[in-house]
Amino acid sequence: MLRAILWDVDGTLAETERDGHLLAFNQAFDALQVPWRWSERRYGELLAVAGGRERLMHDMQSQEHAPADPQERRSLAERVHRLKNEYYARIVAGGDLPLREGVRELMLDCERAGLRMGIVTTTSRSNVEALLKTHLGEGWKSLFAAVVCAEEAPTKKPDPQAYLRALDALQTLPREAVAMEDAPAGVAAAQAAGVPVIITRSYYFPATESADALAAGPSLGRTDGWRPAAEPGCERIDLKQINRWYAQRA
Ligand code: XBP
């Protein structure tokens, strides 16, 4: 029986990478007079590295104007990352980063059905708080039985650590949960923890696939383009549809 839905954040709940983190990184570069900017395309390549600070450190290996001294690099990455998170919170609070279609509706389905939910992300807690407070209100935490962020799970996806922490907090078996993920690293993390996955592809990850996924498709807000196909007649991917896919696999 399905007992919990575990939500990834970046790319799954909202297009946070393209419309939030990327803009905020470039604003932080600007403010700190760092002499380079990231294009949408370059950021897509850099998403292969999980974690904002780790991404910065990786990029500096090929930036000719990056500090040569490793300690200076680390300190620059720290400063950019801290400021990036402040700008990110402002972008989110400004209302320019909506939840993806069908996300709020599926969360409401879960709430009505008494199905527990968890947040499982390796992004910083401040980013999660900014996003969910803006869209779900001050009381957003009460909607989730577990909230696992980078602070609780420092080993980034595709490591299963974040999922294992969430399962532990929920006291739920992996096969009794379903993970909602968009990126290959997230899918791998959930599967390594034994959690079945539903893939909602995103702007930067339009082709994520897994033979073991319960289902994969373009958005929770639409029913075309899903494999296996969604039941005819429904208007979005609702909890009934999630339960159908879950039962098919069981
Ligand atoms: C997403 C990430 C994060 C964000 C930026 O992780 O890789 O690094 O891009 O957030 P997940 P930070 O898929 O687990 O949500 O700057 O806070 O790292």
pLDDT tens string 7-37: 999 999 999 999 999 999 999 999 999 999 9
Verify whether residue 19 is a known catalytic residue: no
| DSSP type of residue 215 | E
- Cβ contacts of residue 184 below 8 Å, gap of 6+? 158, 205, 208, 210
Catalytic residue chosen out of the listed positions 10, 59, 159, 182: 10
Which ligand 1 atom is at minimum distance from the Cα of 126?
17
Q: Is the CB of 16 under 6 A from ligand 1?
A: no
The tokens of 14 are what? 């909202």
Per-residue pLDDT for 250 more than 80? no
- pTM of the full predicted structure? 0.96
- Closest residue by Cα to atom 10, ligand 1, is 123
- pLDDT tens-digit profile of 102-119? 999 999 999 999 999 999
Which tens digits make up the pLDDT trace of 128-160?
Answer: 999 999 999 999 999 999 999 999 999 999 999
Cα 248 to middle of ligand 1, angstroms: 32
b/e 72-111 (16+ beta carbons within 10 angstroms → b): ebeebbeebbebbbebbbebbeeeebebbebbbbbbebbe
Label residue 44 by pLDDT band (50, 70, 90). Answer: very high
The reported pLDDT for the residue numbered 29 is 98
Mean per-residue pLDDT of the chain = 97
Q: How far is the CA of 245 from the centre of ligand 1 (A)?
A: 28
Residue 8, token pair as written in the block: 């990834």
| pLDDT digit string, tens, across residues 171-218 | 999 999 999 999 999 999 999 999 999 999 999 999 999 999 999 999
Mean per-residue pLDDT, 82-95: 97
Q: Which of 177, 117, 124 is nearest to 152 (CA)?
A: 124
Is 10 among the catalytic positions? yes
Per the document, the length of the chain is 250
Give the pLDDT score at 151: 95
Nearest atom (ligand 1) to Cα of 156: 14
Q: Is the CB of 161 under 6 A from ligand 1?
A: no
pLDDT value of residue 249: 84
Q: How far is the CA of 51 from the centre of ligand 1 (A)?
A: 5
Cα–Cα distance measured from residue 42 to residue 4, given in angstroms and rounded to the nearest whole number = 36
Alpha-helix residue ranges (DSSP H) falling in the chain: 16, 22-31, 40-46, 52-60, 70-93, 103-113, 125-136, 161-170, 184-192, 239-249
Beta carbon of 102 within 6 Å of any ligand 1 atom = no
In whole angstroms, what is the distance from residue 138 CA to residue 98 CA?
17
- Residue 200, classed as helix, strand or coil, is strand
CA of 142 to the centre of ligand 1 (A): 23
- Ligand 1 centre to CA of 55 (Å) is 9
Give the residue whose CA is nearest to atom 8 of ligand 1. Answer: 51
The helix/strand/coil state of 225 is: coil
